[in-house]
Amino acid sequence: MSLVILGLSHHTAPLPLLESMSLDPAGRAALAASLTRRENLSEAIVVSTCNRTEVYAESLTFHGAVTDIAEALTEVTGVAPDELREHLYVHYEDRAIAHAFTVACGLDSMAVGEAQILGQMRTALREGQRAGQVGPALNSLFQQALRVGKRAHTETGIDAVSVSLVEAGLARAERELGSLSRLDVLVVGAGAMSSLAATTVTRVGARSITVVNRTLAKATRLAERVGGAARPLGELPAALAGADVVISCTGSTGVVVDLAGAGDAQVARGGRPQVYIDLALPHDVAPEVDSLSGVSVAGLAALGDQLSGGTTPPQVQEVADLVIGEVAAYLTARAAESVAPTVAALRSHAADVVAAELTRLDQRLPDLDEQTRAEVQLAVHRIVEKLLHTPTVRVKELAVGGQGDDYAQALRQLFDLRPGEAVTALVPPERGGLA
């Protein structure tokens, strides 16, 4: 069994293809279900964000798994294999673990160091757990990735250099329109990204903020939290006309602001300049809107270009070093776990032998006083522990070096061990729940 990650991201694919590959919860569920029905895959988690669409899988065979994942992606998204193939990347075992930790820390995001990916990975794990598509391998990987991501934000200075896409968009709006304190901002949508946008707008100090959403109750809750006003989606045309900056991230599969709607808003505004910040994938704002006089559209691609480039901040290197250390520790722990059933079976076998011999001693010496019997029992246990110490420590050391399977097999043959029979009683269960 081996870990495989196959996917594409803003590093490898153009934005239109990322839009085609972006999956809503139903799409993620359909893809994960398709994956776990295939013969080469035993576990699967799908992570799909505005930056990436990735499949994390526990596989029986590497090449079979890659084929299965690629076929499932094509089946669910409708993207042709030839179009998809040149943009895909594959990570296997050690590299896959390093990639998962790097993603969780936000180092692979368009906005380096952003923390939203932690929530997205947590959601993906929950979805897989509820559907029964996550087993011990991926549960362990994602739990640890989430812990590493949290460490990155609590123990390093990455947040100080984590310029979000929202902040990049607002900086662009200020360059074109002037100080945000004199601008009215409209947030379209009330999900996680929209909530981040509204909070950021409030923090930097816009003149006013309005939230429009299909469900008015959600818009109202978000607006109340940031001291703004809420309007239903039916009032979007009027809201567009009153906004200097429009931030949209609805998760809709279609365009929310088309050319005609934006044109009508400009007429109502008397041609006053306006900036659209489109954070959605697929996009909420029709690309043609950028052609209107006085209107500027900043989408994910443009904002990503704005954030990229330059030298690597020391805080980013600090997180990269953290990831390296965590990967090494995870690999060591996982190697030790691989021989744990054999070690448990060996100790169980030794305990059975000790118990049988102590029972025989009781039968042969029924008048043995309790103190003497306790001393004999303690001495026997100490002898057994000393005899077992070296082989159990050694097998774990060899496992880290990649030789654990051979040594564990030798122990099983020498002592006639059946690990599966002892694991339930002697090995603590996998820890469940979320980090």
DSSP codes of every residue in 238-298: HHHHT-SEEEE----SS-SB-HHHHHHHHHHHTT--EEEEE--SS-SB-GGGGGSTTEEEE
Asked if 262 and 271 count as a contact pair (C-beta separation under 8 A), the reply is no
Residue (of 128, 105, 115) closest to 56 by Cα position: 128
Asked if 206 and 181 count as a contact pair (C-beta separation under 8 A), the reply is yes
Residue among 50, 104, 206, 422 flagged as catalytic: 50
Q: Please state, in angstroms and rounded to a whole number, the distance separating the CA atoms of residues 412 and 407.
A: 9
Q: Please state, in angstroms and rounded to a whole number, the distance separating the CA atoms of residues 281 and 250.
A: 9
For 220-230, b/e burial (b = at least 16 CB within 10 A) is bebbeebebeb
Asked if 247 and 173 count as a contact pair (C-beta separation under 8 A), the reply is no
Q: Phi/psi of residue 314, each to 5°?
A: -60, -30
Residue (of 210, 288, 304) closest to 248 by Cα position: 210
Asked if 9 and 102 count as a contact pair (C-beta separation under 8 A), the reply is no
Kind of pairing, strands 184-188 and 41-48?
unpaired
Supply the Cα-derived Rg of the chain in whole angstroms.
29
Asked if 115 and 192 count as a contact pair (C-beta separation under 8 A), the reply is no
CA dihedral (20, 23, 29, 32) positive or negative = positive
Q: Phi/psi of residue 425, each to 5°?
A: -85, -30
- Confirm whether 50 is a catalytic residue: yes
**Catalytic positions, written as ranges:** 50
